[in-house]
Amino acid sequence: EASVYQWYAEQDGDRTVIYANFQGRNPNEENVEINVRRECFMPSETGVGYITVSGFVVTKAATTWAPPAAYQDGMIGPHWSKGWIIEDCEISNSKCAGISLGKYYDPDNDHYFTTRHVKSPTQMERDAVCRGQYHGWLKEKVGGHIIRRCNIHDCQQGGIIGRMGGVFSLIEDNHIHHINNMMELGGAEIAGIKMHAAIDVTMRRNWIHHCTMGIWCDWEAQGTRISQNLLHDNQRPAFAKQLKGGMCSQDLFVEVSHGPTLIDNNILLSDAALRFATQGVAMVHNLICGALTCVGGGTTWRYTPYHMPHRTEVMGFMTILHGDDRFYNNIFVQKWPAEPFVTLHDNDDGFDEENREVGTHVMDEYPTYDEWIAMFDMDTDTPDMGKLEPGHFHSLPVWCRGNAYLNGAKAWKHETDCLVDAEHPVGVDVVVGEDGRPRLKTNLYDVLGEFRAGMVDSDVLGCAFEPEQRFENPDGTAIVFDRDYFGGHRGVAVVPGPLAQSDGAEQPLW
């Protein structure tokens, strides 16, 4: 608890001296492991594609911190190549990252801010995107990996991380848990899955719990789909203090992206469901027991790229206007206390209060589509750029329909086609049985009663504003949300939330 068996190392000339607290045991008599190997299975060169790694135990490597503007290594990874499959492996106890789908070594961009200071980290991120194009960041050369059926746990930075190298990948059926629980490392790269530029990446049917953060999609979550996942208890361990530079905890974090980012048919049970420092998100048929946080914040001047649909080529750069979000057929439950949560600043002794009230009411200040489009003089053929400039930098519209708000969760002020029930107590918990499989324990379907919603598809969701790309499959085909968390078919009377039938709550969730 709280890492009582501590150690540290320092250099004494050419020697490395290790000091450790062995709690009274004699290290000359005990089995002492010193992890010094940087990777377990990772090519030293880029472009070594189409490798399958199946059924291995990969553990205990002394990996280095893997930020996006540096070489990103993990215990195992494809190192800027194409078509790897990592399946049925147990991956654990990495000092930093378990699996890396990340960036090549670029000496001109490597830790630039840390060593030179004169350009901001965000500027170096923009540089990394454009330099990546020069270094072969194309659909034909990089990405398209599969990570499936792995047990990934007890890594201290991330279970799966990656900058740009994980595009067009599939991450499915993995059990990811107890990431960063030792709390030795803080910083903006910690999660069960942490990916920059998850372009056309699908993350589905994963069970992610007891991580400092569940899934974090940072920059360019364009065509990203997070579907049919179970996330719970992704909160800082009770014994641990927030580290300087350490991020806040939540199930999902989508940051400074222009979308389209699709989050559908998930069960999100932690006290914060989604950190919303972004735009262009669609949430469809989720069970959401935590708050939406950081709405309209956390972006400042960070203008970020968007891409040609289903490609890596950059289409443009733009600041985050916020909005451009859709909420259809979700169930919101106020499971956790609604009092604001106190968070520490990274670089001073200040603090902020973060929302813990569940629901879409946090979007109250965002316009409807009709309010937004009215700013643009659509009836004239000679638009006035100066007159329209406020509209060009105004927040974008929001759409809400078919959602249920239970146990005190609150609806967007413009939503009319919804159910709001603050009278009947609702409980939602995940219970792991003797068979090791999680199940829901809830009475929410008794309260939901006969409330039903409409069928949703890509046409209903439309296009994300900046890239003008539909919420669709990676091959450009439409999505019809007629399948639920288990893959079962939704009938004509559509039940909101991730389960097509109320008796689905009794089935094992993973």
What is d(CA 26, CA 123) in angstroms, rounded to the nearest whole number? 50
Average pLDDT over residues 263-280: 97
**The token pair that represents 491 in the structure block:** 């009938």
The mean of the pLDDT values for the chain is 93
Beta carbons within 10 angstroms of residue 452's beta carbon: 15
**β-bridge partners, 432:** 438
* pLDDT tens per residue across span 195-251: 999 999 999 999 999 999 999 999 999 999 999 999 999 998 887 777 766 668 999
What is d(CA 394, CA 391) in angstroms, rounded to the nearest whole number? 5
| Cβ atoms of residues 344 and 351 within 8 Å | yes
* pLDDT at residue 344, rounded to an integer: 75
**The token pair that represents 137 in the structure block:** 């960041």
Beta carbons within 10 angstroms of residue 68's beta carbon: 25
Beta carbons within 10 angstroms of residue 411's beta carbon: 21
* pLDDT at residue 444, rounded to an integer: 95
H or E element that contains 130? helix 121-134
Q: Which of 231, 289, 326, 498 is nearest to 409 (CA)?
A: 289
Average pLDDT over residues 167-192: 91
Q: Does position 343 have pLDDT exceeding 60, yes or no?
A: yes
| Cβ atoms of residues 464 and 259 within 8 Å | yes
Does 474 sit behind a cis peptide bond, omega within 30 degrees of 0 on the bond before it? no
Written as one string, the DSSP assignment of 341-378 is EEEE-SSSS-EEEE----BGGGGTTSPPHHHHHGGG-T
Structural domains in the chain, CATH included, are 7-506 (2.160.20.10)
DSSP H helical ranges for 49-117: 112-116
* pLDDT at residue 2, rounded to an integer: 55
**The token pair that represents 462 in the structure block:** 């439309």
| Cβ atoms of residues 164 and 102 within 8 Å | yes
Q: Which of 317, 327, 320 is nearest to 296 (CA)?
A: 320
Q: Rounded to 5 degrees, what are φ and ψ at 112?
A: -60, -50
* pLDDT at residue 244, rounded to an integer: 66
Average pLDDT over residues 249-264: 96
Task: Give burial (CB, 10 Å; 0-12/13-18/19+) of 307.
Answer: buried
Q: Spell out the residues 6+ positions from residue 495 whose beta carbon is closer than 8 angstroms to its own.
A: 448, 452, 453, 501, 502
What is d(CA 293, CA 274) in angstroms, rounded to the nearest whole number? 6
**Looking at residue 397, what DSSP letter applies?**
P
| Cβ atoms of residues 294 and 255 within 8 Å | no
Tally DSSP H helices, then E strands, for the chain: 6, 38
* pLDDT at residue 33, rounded to an integer: 85
Task: Give burial (CB, 10 Å; 0-12/13-18/19+) of 23.
Answer: exposed
Share of the chain above pLDDT 90, in %: 76
Beta carbons within 10 angstroms of residue 318's beta carbon: 15
What is d(CA 188, CA 122) in angstroms, rounded to the nearest whole number? 12
Q: Does position 347 have pLDDT exceeding 70, yes or no?
A: no
* pLDDT at residue 293, rounded to an integer: 95
**The token pair that represents 399 in the structure block:** 């759409």
What is d(CA 262, CA 282) in angstroms, rounded to the nearest whole number? 5
* pLDDT at residue 245, rounded to an integer: 63
H or E element that contains 389? helix 385-392
Pairing of strands 191-196, 215-218: parallel
- Among 86-90, 113-117, 285-289, 474-478, the least confident range: 113-117
Average pLDDT over residues 357-368: 97
Q: Which of 142, 203, 217 is nearest to 170 (CA)?
A: 203
* pLDDT tens per residue across span 429-464: 999 989 999 999 999 999 999 999 999 999 999 999
What is d(CA 435, CA 344) in angstroms, rounded to the nearest whole number? 40
* pLDDT at residue 1, rounded to an integer: 56
**The token pair that represents 37 in the structure block:** 């190997």
Residue corresponding to tokens 């600043």: 345
* pLDDT at residue 246, rounded to an integer: 64
What is d(CA 152, CA 171) in angstroms, rounded to the nearest whole number? 12
Residue 29's Cβ-side half-sphere holds a number of Cα atoms within 13 Å equal to 4
Q: Which of 504, 473, 508 is nearest to 490 (CA)?
A: 504
* pLDDT at residue 168, rounded to an integer: 98
Q: Rounded to 5 degrees, what are φ and ψ at 190?
A: -115, 125
* pLDDT tens per residue across span 131-150: 998 999 999 999 999 999 99
* pLDDT at residue 346, rounded to an integer: 66
